[in-house]
Amino acid sequence: MQNASNTLKFNHLSFPSRDVTATAGFFERHLDWQATPMGRSCVLKGHGFDVVIEDAADRPVEWPGNFHIGFELPSLDALQALYHRFKAAGVEFATGLISHERGSRFFCRIPGGVLVELNTREDAAAPFRAGFGRA
């Protein structure tokens, strides 16, 4: 029998949104995901895992202040280009570009209220350059 830690992989993330269409549209338009409606909810496919946007139009959705989802880009140039593309598109930012020992990043809030971090480790200090599954 194989140990689960050797075979386990990330499958999906699921979160509620009061506006499924706008939330899914953000992922399609800005992050190149493919959306498939699933009743009043939506499944997004892309980048090796799925995101399920659950319909919460009938109830309030409150996020803890520090809750966020994070996506990593391969380079500082790619991060800066995405930041400027988001800015031109009127995306709601929670921060500007941040230079940090764990790599550059910025935070934005997507439709539905989820805080999203976009980062790169290209310019991170040596102890932080590797991530899970990377040397």
Is 4's pLDDT higher than 70? Answer: no
| 3 state SS of 29 | helix
77 and 104 share one domain? yes
Q: Among the three residues 43, 59, 75, which one is the final residue of a domain in this structure?
A: 59
What Cα–Cα distance (Å) separates residue 61 from each residue in 6, 44, 106, 111? 35, 20, 23, 12
53 and 67 share one domain? no
12-17/34-38 β-pairing: unpaired
Q: Identify which of 53, 49, 55 has the alpha carbon closest to the alpha carbon of residue 15.
A: 53
CA–CA dist 97, 36 (Å, integer): 32
Tell me what pLDDT residue 101 has.
Answer: 93
The better pLDDT of the pair 97, 133 is held by 97
Give the pTM. Answer: 0.86
What domain range is 82 assigned to? 63-135
25 and 8 share one domain? yes
70 and 93 share one domain? yes
Which phi and psi (to 5°) does residue 36 adopt?
Answer: -130, 115
Instruction: Give the count of domains, the chain.
Output: 2
16-75 pLDDT, tens digit each: 999 999 999 999 999 999 999 999 999 999 888 899 999 999 999 988 888 999 999 999
CATH of the domain at 5: 3.10.180.10
52 and 102 share one domain? no
